[in-house]
Structure 1
């Protein structure tokens, strides 16, 4: 059984470009767990075999180290342990409360090997000279939306003029918000924007803003405690603006340990195949004390093909979406040079893993 570590990252990023790229994009249906008190009696010594295993360090955009979605299934079915131990590794998971910027900092400092987070921060990272690659997509259709309190008088996006709206500036949500405003003959200067990421939901539910730009999954979670209404969502409009969750790796790690990346992706693919073959069991696995079965079905069951957006595959459509985000960053002065996507996207490890699993 692998041992997961938790690392709390609350400080702001020292690297200036990271400050612009917070990604408030959470893995669908993630649940927040409470830290357990550690005592001498509760610490279980590692076996010699566990000590001999090297660490594959995975970063997630969360306040804890819980695996979610397909990785949760892969862990529950023991695929991750099986695949990584076969190449002499074990998985160590680190949760980054400050999301994209903190993960970018960790990549720059070589304190992590791989990460799953929104598609915007790694583009900034690559543009600023940190050698990373996108090796897979863990969610190719991360829906985004604009919500208001259920009893709000705001009915449409046009009604947001002069209102106070929470949106993480320089994030994928910012790109979505600005483009939706433009489509409704508004511009960002027409809005009083609160740049809030870590406490956006709390700020909104405390009635300190008129609207909130957020991922659709997080909106559904809020709705279970604080009644909301959607005035815009990529689930039914502007579907070209869906976000993406990408699996990113340091190229130095890929060059030195290609077998480890392939092993991790084999575990992911096996988890995905289990999900599509055991839909009901997969739904049940995603339920916890914060996430209801009804919510899981809303998130995953709404797709034309259940779980189809979680396969890990990178298609040309996905690359085109990355290009759109890169263009947005360049046009808004968030990066000084465009990213070469042919160099940035490397799905060879995924293809190799898929071929091996399919044998």
Structure 2
């Protein structure tokens, strides 16, 4: 016969098992979502700026979105190695989602990564060409034979190659040096290189009178623009469509806030948590509407841009095989978020040729 104390211990143990099994926060039931940024702040600060996803991270939009889901844990990762490092993490099943640029996404698809592109975050971004102050290099065509920093494998890479081609040059016509942002900034400061293609951190060097920005893709051919998107592992999206929807919905909310002109300065200040000055982001977004840069819409113009990028990446020798982008883009989660938040028609959409679509088209 079981004694009273023994019976009590068994009852307590059983109750504990029931609590553990029913608790949505128990280890066995927790869904950990790993989200990566193909960027990192200055001095390895764990922030990314200049995008709605960056705001969603720094202002805890996802934490609020998942406040009713204690079983979901969000983890953020920032990659100094940018897009190529994100692809490696995807290949090793270390990420579920990432905010990544167009060229590395295309390279990942070419190498067999099973992903879906869900929304834009960092669309229509320009690049810049910077030279040390006093340099005789005054235009893109002057780069022939010069030492030029280009961060290979990133979405800056293909944009830079297209700019070179538009000015009668190929990569082989310049001495390309593969450098990340921090190394590029140091090399420009020490004048160890003649020029660098890059993005907003170059504006910080210009502000300090270390470099001159002698060219920007702003106002030039729209085909030179760079795009970044939220991309996810197909397997995770299929297994957790409810979680995926909440992630997309949270970033759409951040995109709405980031698109309001009344929030322009606050957007730059949030972005400056990266350690890059707000003035650099201010310069980067100058003469452009926030709605244009912070749209979450993956429209026909962006899809066509990816199609052209994939073709050009092979033509310029950045890929060895053709890349089929059909079926890669999934707008279902975005469209659901837009409808739920009353934002259908809030952002302008463009057709494949880059022309604005009329409402309802």
Larger Rg: 2
Distance verdict in 2 for CA 1:330–1:284, change over 3 Å: closer
Asked if 1:255 is matched to 2:219, the reply is no
In the TM superposition, what are the counterparts of 1:86-105 in structure 2 within 5 Å?
86-87=68-69, 88-105=71-88
Asked if 1:56 is matched to 2:43, the reply is no
Distance verdict in 2 for CA 1:267–1:156, change over 3 Å: same
Mapped partners of 1:135, 1:333: distance in 2: 28
Deviations 1:162-218 (A, max 9, x none): 221111344433322332223222333321222223622222222111111112x12
Distance verdict in 2 for CA 1:226–1:181, change over 3 Å: same
Distance verdict in 2 for CA 1:50–1:200, change over 3 Å: farther
- 1:282 corresponding residue in structure 2: 267
- Given that 1:300 and 1:307 are in contact with CA atoms closer than 8 Å, whether structure 2 keeps it comes out as no
Gaps of 5+ in 2: 1-23, 344-361
- 1:209 corresponding residue in structure 2: 193
- 1:143 corresponding residue in structure 2: 126
Mapped partners of 1:77, 1:159: distance in 2: 43
Structure 1 vs Structure 2 CA RMSD: 2.6
Deviation at 1:331, TM superposition (A): 1.9
- 1:81 corresponding residue in structure 2: 63
1:243 is paired with a residue whose SS is: coil
- 1:354 corresponding residue in structure 2: 338
Mapped partners of 2:281, 2:152: distance in 1: 29
Distance verdict in 2 for CA 1:348–1:286, change over 3 Å: same
What TM-score, normalized by structure 1, do the two folds share?
0.78
Deviation at 1:291, TM superposition (A): 4.0
Deviation at 1:89, TM superposition (A): 1.5
Asked if 1:299 is matched to 2:284, the reply is yes
Deviation at 1:288, TM superposition (A): 4.2
In the TM superposition, what are the counterparts of 1:113-152 in structure 2 within 5 Å?
113-152=96-135
- 1:27 corresponding residue in structure 2: none
Asked if 1:232 is matched to 2:215, the reply is yes
- Given that 2:115 and 2:232 are in contact with CA atoms closer than 8 Å, whether structure 1 keeps it comes out as yes
Deviation at 1:293, TM superposition (A): 4.2
- 1:14 corresponding residue in structure 2: none
- Given that 1:100 and 1:121 are in contact with CA atoms closer than 8 Å, whether structure 2 keeps it comes out as yes
Deviations 1:21-50 (A, max 9, x none): xxxxxxxxxxxxxxxxxxxxxxxxxxx959
- 2:93 corresponding residue in structure 1: 110
1:182 is paired with a residue whose SS is: helix
1:247 is paired with a residue whose SS is: strand
Deviation at 1:289, TM superposition (A): 8.1
2:290 is paired with a residue whose SS is: coil
2:121 is paired with a residue whose SS is: strand
Distance verdict in 2 for CA 1:172–1:259, change over 3 Å: same
What TM-score, normalized by structure 2, do the two folds share?
0.78
Mapped partners of 2:55, 2:84: distance in 1: 28
Distance verdict in 2 for CA 1:301–1:226, change over 3 Å: closer
Identify which of 330, 343, 347 aligns with 2:327.
343
Distance verdict in 2 for CA 1:282–1:176, change over 3 Å: closer
Gaps of 5+ in 1: 1-47
Deviation at 1:334, TM superposition (A): 3.4
Identify which of 326, 331, 336 aligns with 2:310.
326
2:227 is paired with a residue whose SS is: strand
Distance verdict in 2 for CA 1:157–1:67, change over 3 Å: closer
- 2:53 corresponding residue in structure 1: 71
- 2:163 corresponding residue in structure 1: 180
Mapped partners of 1:190, 1:232: distance in 2: 18
Mapped partners of 1:109, 1:95: distance in 2: 16
Aligned residues between the structures: 311
Mapped partners of 2:224, 2:274: distance in 1: 31
Deviation at 1:93, TM superposition (A): 0.4
Mapped partners of 1:352, 1:273: distance in 2: 15
Distance verdict in 2 for CA 1:238–1:262, change over 3 Å: same
